Amino acid sequence: MRHGLVAAVIATAVLGAGSAASAQEFPTKPVTIVVPFAAGGPTDTVTRLVAQSMTGTLGQQVIVENVGGAGGTLGAARVAKADPDGYTLLLHHIGQATSATLYRKLSYDPATDFMPIGIVADVPMTVVARKDFPAADMKALIEQAKAEGDVITYANAGIGSASHLCGMLLMQALDVPLTTVAYKGTAPAMNDLLGGQVDLMCDQTTNTTSQIKGGTIKVYAVTTPERLPSLPDVPTTVESGLPDVQVGVWHGLYAPAGTDAAVVARLEEALQAAVTDPNVTQRLAELGATPATAETATPAALEQLVTSEIARWRPVIEAAGQYAD
């Protein structure tokens, strides 16, 4: 029995040493970041900027794979069930927290089935309309919405999307139920806004800034307490009389729960380098986004944010009574 116990202890030590060595060598092959939305959308844009920078730090290609559907939950589920070896990651936005309430039957737990790596960036949203929408400013928009109600159409990228969440806040603040038109992604929703098939939309600055500056859509407000340097002439929702319509679309990077702490530390190091990479910060600034800081691009900061955002959005979603299942 004594010999058996010694052998078991030795075997455990060998396995532990092997795991530590494997973590120290990480990565030895390409790393995949799953984006749970279609290519070309706001989250995809942020991810590709970060992935390019992380490739240089890790010395291995960081590949972006789009796994869209079900408000981001299909891609998230794939990562939650992936091997916890650090080679399959998730970059998700605020939907990682809101899915805990929007979906009453999820195959994973957003709070416990992931290992947080760090916050990536915070992206403001804009309240925009087709370029020929009658209201000249937010005051006129509020008056028109109250007068016409559900005659006005509001586009979103699907239940659970950032545009859906922003729309819920907007309609609650206006106390007007606009007619919601849900799309399968940001791109088709924006295409119809550009084409004049729908009236209004909330969308991230990473997707609207170029359209606003090009005059192809009309902008009413940014959903931040202060004006953005990238859109200095656009008033905030606070200035416009809608102080409750404030939402920043934060993005976080995750590994599956159970990933080795040394691997997480290596990925955190690469993320820290990415959010301070001049190429990344400059491009994000041009799009109105703010990269995470050294203090927030950490596992502890992201874990705390997810917990607080689940608590923040649960009553909003329950009050709206809009669930995805």
Residue in 245, 264, 247, 248 with CA at minimum distance from that of residue 303:
264
Predicted local confidence at residue 203, as pLDDT: 93
With a CB cutoff of 8 Å and minimum separation 6, the contacts of 165 are 94, 95, 98, 247, 313, 316
pLDDT at 7 over 60: no
Give the confidence band of 17 by pLDDT, cuts at 50, 70, 90: very low
Predicted local confidence at residue 8, as pLDDT: 47
Segment 25-32 mean pLDDT: 97
Q: Phi first, then psi: what are they for 251, rounded to 5°?
A: -125, 140
Instruction: Work out the percent of the chain whose per-residue pLDDT is above 70.
Output: 93
Specify the range with the lowest mean pLDDT, choosing from 14-23, 53-62, 164-173, 242-251. Answer: 14-23
Predicted local confidence at residue 42, as pLDDT: 83
pLDDT at 2 over 50: no
pLDDT at 94 over 70: yes
Predicted local confidence at residue 10, as pLDDT: 53
Segment 142-147 mean pLDDT: 95
Q: What angle do CA 225, 288, 270 make, to 5 degrees?
A: 110
Distance CA 287, CA 109 (A): 32
Question: Per DSSP, what are the bridge partners of residue 249?
Answer: 123
Predicted local confidence at residue 5, as pLDDT: 47
Predicted local confidence at residue 270, as pLDDT: 98
Give the confidence band of 187 by pLDDT, cuts at 50, 70, 90: confident
Give the confidence band of 23 by pLDDT, cuts at 50, 70, 90: low
pLDDT at 291 over 90: yes
Q: Give the predicted TM-score (pTM) of the model.
A: 0.82
Residues 271/54, Cβ–Cβ less than 8 Å: yes
pLDDT at 38 over 60: yes
Predicted local confidence at residue 22, as pLDDT: 56
Q: What angle do CA 322, 324, 325 make, to 5 degrees?
A: 115
* Higher-scoring residue by pLDDT: 15, 41: 41
pLDDT at 222 over 60: yes
Both tokens of residue 12? 């455990």
Predicted local confidence at residue 36, as pLDDT: 93
pLDDT at 295 over 90: yes
Predicted local confidence at residue 157, as pLDDT: 86
pLDDT at 15 over 80: no
Predicted local confidence at residue 316, as pLDDT: 84
Predicted local confidence at residue 325, as pLDDT: 77
Predicted local confidence at residue 236, as pLDDT: 96
* Higher-scoring residue by pLDDT: 18, 201: 201
Residue in 206, 44, 214 with CA at minimum distance from that of residue 222:
206
Distance CA 103, CA 87 (A): 27
Average pLDDT value for the chain: 90
* Higher-scoring residue by pLDDT: 7, 135: 135
Q: What domains lie within the chain, and their CATH numbers?
A: 29-122+249-320 (3.40.190.150), 124-222 (3.40.190.10)
